[in-house]
Amino acid sequence: MTPTAVSQLIDHTFDSLSPELQRAARWLQQHHTALALHSMRNSARQAGVSPATMTRLAQRLGFEGYEALRQPFMKQLGGHLPDAAPVQAGPAAELGAASQLNALQQANVASVLALNPPERLQAAADAMLKARNVYFLGMRVCHGVAFHMHYVYGLLGANGVLINDLGGTMADQITRLERDDVLVAISQAPYTRQTVEGVQLALDQFATVVAMTDSALSPIARRAAHVLMFETATSSFFQSTLGAEALAEALVATLAVRGGVNAQRRLRQMQEHLRRTRAYWERPAPSRQSRGPAASRALEILQ
């Protein structure tokens, strides 16, 4: 069996898996290399499940055990595991860790182009441009991405709404969505419960959902009309949102192009508004009193 066949098997059986097995399956789909290189215990820790769950997933997929599940991925990497690197400490190790993280960050940004053909971005952008209102939802680590998208979208259109949970009113805000509205939802593993439930509520309102997420098996992607993908690889304890940010910028750039004359007109109006309200700092011209005698005389000559 090939890794592709395993992925297809997971896609076919995913909906019948328990929530715990689904969590393990999502991790497996996104981390083929790690699956081949790491032990079951290490893989389980990264997936946020118990080692027994990894074994149950393998058996549920028809393998004798976890090691049998790993075999296709190990063969894809050459059939052997590399020797363990010696443990390092000190400045050299810190520099190596930073370099490793930077390489993964670059890969996360590059994943946007690899995972999202232009026509997929264009289809999502067109749905947003046709919408009555465009709502943006991202909680916890993804809230910053949602806020950024809402802000930049506001330079192109006046119908953007940022959903928040201030005062526990998130569900109240989402119930305002209608059939001709679009919800742009952003989430990555571990998926925030409020975001998942918010997407479900929007679907119940018959709104169109654009899911920006890290896996086709993401709970916000299963029934979304448009699914845009990014990767979240990191060697740090903290989650990486660079892939999500890069995807957000790619989608907004597509909106600016697809929006044509209307988007350009709105952008000019907003630029004029920002200039008029002095939104950005400009260095003030020095007053005559603050200039020295020589500088004042030189200015008078030039004038």
**Per-residue 3-state assignment (H helix, E strand, C coil) for 217-280:** CCCCCCCCCEEEECCCCCCCCCCCCHHHHHHHHHHHHHHHHHCHHHHHHHHHHHHHHHHHCCCC
Please say whether the beta carbons of 43 and 35 come within 8 A. Answer: yes
Q: Is the pTM of this model over 0.75?
A: no
Residue closest to 44 by CA, chosen among 77, 64, 70: 70
pLDDT at 287: 63
pLDDT at 3: 81
pLDDT at 232: 85
Please say whether the beta carbons of 252 and 149 come within 8 A. Answer: yes
- Interatomic CA distance for residues 24 and 87, integer angstroms: 29
Tens of pLDDT along the chain (303 residues) come to 788 788 888 888 988 999 999 999 988 888 887 888 888 998 898 888 999 999 999 999 999 999 999 998 888 765 444 443 444 445 555 557 788 888 888 888 988 998 899 999 999 999 999 999 999 999 999 999 999 999 999 999 999 999 999 999 999 999 999 999 999 999 998 889 999 999 999 999 999 999 999 888 889 998 999 999 998 877 777 788 999 999 999 999 999 999 999 999 999 999 999 999 999 998 776 665 555 566 555 545 555
Q: Work out whether the CA dihedral 73, 27, 66, 45 comes out positive or negative.
A: positive
pLDDT at 77: 66
In Å, how far are 106, 108, 119, 199, 281 from 116, measured between CA atoms?
16, 13, 8, 21, 37
Please say whether the beta carbons of 119 and 228 come within 8 A. Answer: no
pLDDT at 193: 93
Please say whether the beta carbons of 157 and 267 come within 8 A. Answer: no
Contacts of 240 (CB under 8 A, 6+ apart): 104, 105, 108, 232, 233, 234
Q: Which residue has the tokens 């395993």?
A: 6
pLDDT at 262: 94
Domains of the chain and CATH, by start:
3-76 (1.10.10.10), 108-276 (3.40.50.10490)
